[in-house]
């Protein structure tokens, strides 16, 4: 039996964040799941796939994130608890469906996991997907620990069914890939078969219907605002004349820093776990008793912008800081030392960073930059193309996958990359406006994900380039 199927409430297990999320979904009674895999979310999908082999849970690897979203949305609208899993940039692919499903809503619980990747450990950007909640009008919740990642899954499904809307469950790499002790909960009954009741005047989004549905969505947002105000995942801890507002993994860093700096009685903390809609009144009341406040959030100043707006509405004049050259950056991920240093500086606490460990007598390890694995068939493919193109002026558009590493010397077979499938579309453009030979590379999974429309476009518009499809039989 898969360890995440063990029905033993109270048992404690050491779980990866993604395993905790999977277990939380199983405990919540999820019966349908679909994905297009992408780090840092991939282990959720892998575990769900294995679990589906031993249970009546339905799981599929879909062609791309949009398809995965649509498949899951149909299951949810048949009354079956469903989830869709993707990395942050995958939500861009699913956005067309996401934005309109917010109008239509769902009948069964539907949770969309979007795994953000601060520092871009395995991604082409570090976009902050909390803004998708504001853009779509959908609720966003985000755990601060591995333990919460499991617990909040049940909350997310309940919230979805209460609002009859999808819920965005936002994680970051440090939550997905941390390990912690998690206590197993009770397994809810899984309902695998649903039924669809036809209601075209609420579910077929022609303009007349959508105008009515937009009114419904705005009412739902108002209801969600009330739920955010009372959510147990938006809470105040500690006491003091100053305040910190934080979210996600930053909450743990803040808690440790306040303890280490002896600021626990001087600085109180408002942790935001239900981050769209933001709990406006809770924030205003928190700020009223503060002389100054610090916003600690990775990524964009999403909370900071809202908090400053609420303070202005309430006529509050305290100093509110967050992002800035002298404090916290919009770039990359935070770490405990960075947060501790920032808190000490802003609140005037004595802080001397610990001396760095002296490693002068330790031999330096040779650098090991990412590269194509020894024996990888892509190496031979790139080499063969390079030899065949000797003497030509070439442009090599490439795509998303391990084969992207072919851009590194000595192969140097990658000149331009934007996103999944872009090798084909960009080849169309390069072939028209330059006189160079265009040879592009795309993996088999990426080709099916989003490369086919570009190839159809190339044929229809008579674009002249060579497309190399690297079929390695797996999404690596």
CB 103 within 8 A of CB 205: yes
Domain pair 3-188+199-230 / 377-470, same fold? yes
Q: Which CATH architecture has domain 235-347?
A: 3-Layer(aba) Sandwich (3.40)
The structure tokens listed for 155 are 């909350």
pLDDT in tens, 176-221: 999 999 999 999 888 888 899 999 999 999 999 999 999 999 999 9
pLDDT (mean) for 370-388:
90
Strand segments (E) across 27-79: 32-35, 58-61
Q: Match 């490369």 to its residue by tokens.
A: 451
Residues 139-149: what's their mean pLDDT? 97
DSSP for residue 298 = S
Segment 34-57 mean pLDDT: 95
pLDDT score recorded for residue 360: 81
Q: Which pLDDT score is estimated for 192?
A: 84
* Number of C-beta neighbours around residue 461 at 10 A: 10
User: 302-330: string of b/e by CB count within 10 Å (b at 16+)?
Assistant: bbbebbbebbeeeeeeeebbbbeeebbee
| pLDDT tens digits along 324-352 | 878 999 899 999 999 999 999 999 888 88
- Cβ-proximal residues to 11 (8 Å cutoff; 6+ apart), any chain: 183, 184
DSSP sequence for 172-212: EHHHHT-EEEEE--PPPPP---------HHHHS--HHHHHH
State whether the Cα torsion 51-55-59-60 is positive or negative: positive
Superfamily for the 3-188+199-230 domain = Thiamin diphosphate (ThDP)-binding fold, Pyr/PP domains (3.40.50.970)
Beta strands 242-247 and 234-237: pairing type?
A: unpaired
By the 10 Å C-beta count (0-12 exposed, 13-18 middle, 19+ buried), 405 is classed as buried
Contact by Cβ (8 Å): 12, 182: yes
Give yes or no for residue 476 having a pLDDT over 70. no
Tokens describing residue 341: 């240093």
Q: Is the dihedral of CA 462, 464, 470, 474 positive or negative?
A: negative
Model confidence over 96-122: pLDDT tens digits? Answer: 999 999 999 999 999 999 999 998 888
Q: Give the residue extent of every domain in the chain.
A: 3-188+199-230, 235-347, 377-470
The CATH architecture of the domain made up of 377-470 is 3-Layer(aba) Sandwich (3.40)
CA distances from 82 to 60, 107, 160, 191 (A): 12, 11, 10, 10
Residue of 207, 262, 212, 215 lying closest to 240 (CA atoms): 262
pLDDT at 78: 96
Distances (CA, A) of 101 to 107, 163, 225, 285: 12, 13, 19, 34
- Over 90: is that where the pLDDT of 296 sits? yes
Calculate the CA 415 to chain-centre distance.
28
Torsion angles phi and psi, residue 438, rounded to 5? -105, 120
**Residue position matching structure tokens 């998708």:** 132
- Residue 302 CA to residue 118 CA, distance in Å, equals 14
Q: In 21-108, at which residue ranges do the beta strands (DSSP E only) sit?
A: 32-35, 58-61, 82-87
For residue 467 the two structure tokens come to: 């497309």
Q: Which residue has the higher pLDDT, 475 or 236?
A: 236
pLDDT, position 446: 93
- The one-character DSSP state at 411 is T
Instruction: Answer with the residue of higher pLDDT: 377 or 163.
Output: 163
Longest CA span, the chain: 74
| Strand 267-272 versus strand 12-16 pairing type | unpaired
**Percent of the chain residues past pLDDT 70, beyond the cut:** 100
Alpha carbon 60 to chain centroid distance?
19
Query: How does the average pLDDT of the chain come out, rounded?
Result: 94
For CA atoms 439, 445, 447, 451, the dihedral sign is negative
């Amino acid at each position: 039996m898969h360890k995440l199927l063990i029905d033993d409430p109270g048992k404690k297990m050491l779980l990866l964040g993604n395993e905790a999320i999977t277990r939380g979904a199983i405990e919540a009674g999820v019966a349908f799941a679909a994905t297009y895999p992408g780090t840092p979310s991939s282990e959720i999908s892998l575990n769900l796939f294995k679990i589906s082999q031993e249970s009546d849970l339905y799981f599929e690897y879909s062609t791309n994130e949009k398809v995965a979203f649509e498949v899951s949305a149909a299951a949810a609208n048949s009354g079956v608890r469903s989830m869709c899993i993707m990395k942050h940039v995958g939500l861009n692919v699913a956005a067309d469906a996401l934005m309109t499903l917010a109008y239509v809503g769902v009948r069964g619980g539907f949770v969309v996991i979007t795994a953000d990747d601060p520092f871009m450990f395995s991604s082409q950007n570090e976009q902050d997907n909390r803004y998708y909640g504001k853009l779509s009008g959908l609720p966003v919740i985000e755990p601060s620990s591995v333990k919460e990642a499991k617990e909040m899954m049940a909350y997310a499904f309940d919230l979805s069914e209460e609002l009859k809307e999808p819920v965005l469950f936002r994680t970051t790499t440090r939550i997905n890939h941390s390990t912690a002790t998690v206590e197993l909960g009770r397994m809810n009954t899984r309902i695998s078969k649903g039924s669809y009741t036809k209601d075209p005047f609420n579910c077929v989004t022609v303009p007349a219907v959508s105008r009515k549905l937009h009114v419904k969505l705005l009412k739902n947002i108002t209801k969600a605002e009330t739920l955010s105000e009372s959510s147990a995942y938006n809470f105040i801890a500690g006491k003091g004349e100053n305040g910190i507002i934080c979210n996600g993994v930053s909450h743990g860093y803040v808690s440790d820093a306040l303890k280490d700096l002896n600021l626990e009685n001087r600085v109180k903390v408002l942790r935001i776990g239900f981050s769209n809609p933001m709990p406006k009144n809770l924030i205003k009341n928190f700020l009223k008793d503060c002389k100054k406040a610090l916003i600690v959030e990775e990524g964009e100043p999403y909370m900071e912008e809202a908090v400053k707006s609420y303070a202005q509405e309430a006529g509050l004049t305290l100093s509110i800081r967050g992002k800035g050259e002298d404090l916290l950056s919009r770039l990359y991920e935070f770490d405990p030392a960075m947060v501790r240093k920032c808190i000490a500086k802003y609140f005037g606490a004595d802080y001397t960073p610990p001396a760095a460990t002296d490693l002068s007598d330790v031999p330096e390890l040779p650098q090991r930059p990412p590269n194509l694995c020894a024996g990888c068939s892509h190496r031979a493919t790139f080499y063969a193309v390079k030899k065949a193109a000797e003497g030509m002026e070439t442009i090599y558009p490439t795509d998303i996958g391990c084969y992207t590493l072919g851009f590194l010397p000595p192969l140097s077979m990658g000149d331009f990359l934007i996103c999944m499938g872009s090798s084909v579309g960009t080849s169309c453009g390069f072939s028209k406006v330059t006189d160079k030979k265009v040879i592009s590379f795309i993996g088999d999974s990426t080709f099916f994900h989003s490369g086919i429309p570009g190839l159809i476009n190339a044929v229809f518009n008579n674009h002249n380039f060579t497309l190399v499809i690297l079929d390695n039989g797996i999404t690596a």
